[in-house]
Amino acid sequence: MSDALILSGRCLRLSRRNIEALLTSLMLPIMLMLMFVYLFGGAIHIGTKYVTYVVPGVLLLCAGYGASITAVSVSDDMTGGIVDRFRSLDVGGASVLAGHVTASVVRNAASTVLVLGVGVLIGFRPHADMLHWLAAGGVLLLFVLALSWFAAVIGLLARTPEGANGFTFFVMFLPYPSSAFVPIHTMPSLIQGFAEHQPVTPVIETIRSLLLGTPAGSSPWQAVTWCSGILIVSITLAATLFHRRTR
């Protein structure tokens, strides 16, 4: 446990100093938000102000991208010699990976606050009480945890950090065919099927309903089921893969 804490501190220090990755993970979502609100938003009519609609989607995009970077940092460790050094110090794989995931959660908490702040500046007006805010934070946390562990699995599978980096693009793309930027019913029917049944949509809808009071339907249960499922499968896979990579 204390090893995991020491290694979380390490990962946070490393991500703070990896200026390019840090800027990308902070600037990209904000640029995308500004682009959607000011460039495309004028043409998108959905009944409410577009900024209100899009901010939860951007939060997810941001968290997804931030979490997926875990794949690169895990792969960096696995391909360099440092994991062997940790193991020779009797530090287990669980601590190494937990360190990466914890750092990812902290990073994403910071970037979420930033995106929310910019969102409020450009007219996002949530109406939620403390309990709903906490619940929304909890759902986002679960999503970041699940995706970070999934990213750790990708990092363990990838032969090179560059290969692991490909995963971040996949995750960046995932919110597009979802309800993040435009309502699903405006999409071609083939894509609608995918968009309705992929994990990003129920997470976004849950956060929307918690922060904006839109009808939630079965989204919260779907979101929690998806995220818990991904989390459990990923942790199991990560343990197996770490063991196999270090045999």
Binding site for another protein (CB under 8 A): 3, 6-7, 10, 13-14, 17-18, 80-82, 84-91, 246-247
Q: Is 147 in contact with 64 (CB distance < 8 Å)?
A: yes
State the number of CA atoms in the 13 A half-sphere of 38 facing the CB.
9
Minimum CB–partner distance for residue 27 and another protein (Å): 20
Question: Considering beta carbons, is residue 127 or 247 the nearer one to another protein?
Answer: 247
Residue bearing tokens 């960096």: 76
Query: What is the per-residue burial (b if ≥16 Cβ within 10 Å, else e) of 185-223?
Result: eebeeeeeeebbebbbbbbbbbbbbbbbebebeebbebb
Minimum CB–partner distance for residue 83 and another protein (Å): 8
> Would you state the structure tokens that stand for residue 46, as one six-digit string?
């959905």
Question: Considering beta carbons, is residue 17 or 127 the nearer one to another protein?
Answer: 17
Minimum CB–partner distance for residue 98 and another protein (Å): 14
Minimum CB–partner distance for residue 16 and another protein (Å): 9
Q: Is 168 in contact with 157 (CB distance < 8 Å)?
A: no
Question: Considering beta carbons, is residue 87 or 125 the nearer one to another protein?
Answer: 87
Report the sign of the C-alpha dihedral through residues 110, 116, 117, 122, in that order: positive
* Closest by Cα among 110, 86, 113, 89 to 98: 86
Q: Is 200 in contact with 222 (CB distance < 8 Å)?
A: no
Question: Considering beta carbons, is residue 12 or 216 the nearer one to another protein?
Answer: 12
Q: Is 136 in contact with 209 (CB distance < 8 Å)?
A: no
Question: Considering beta carbons, is residue 23 or 191 the nearer one to another protein?
Answer: 23
Q: CA distances (Å), 75 to each of 115, 153, 154, 245, in order?
A: 28, 9, 8, 11
Minimum CB–partner distance for residue 68 and another protein (Å): 20
Minimum CB–partner distance for residue 10 and another protein (Å): 6
Question: Considering beta carbons, is residue 82 or 134 the nearer one to another protein?
Answer: 82
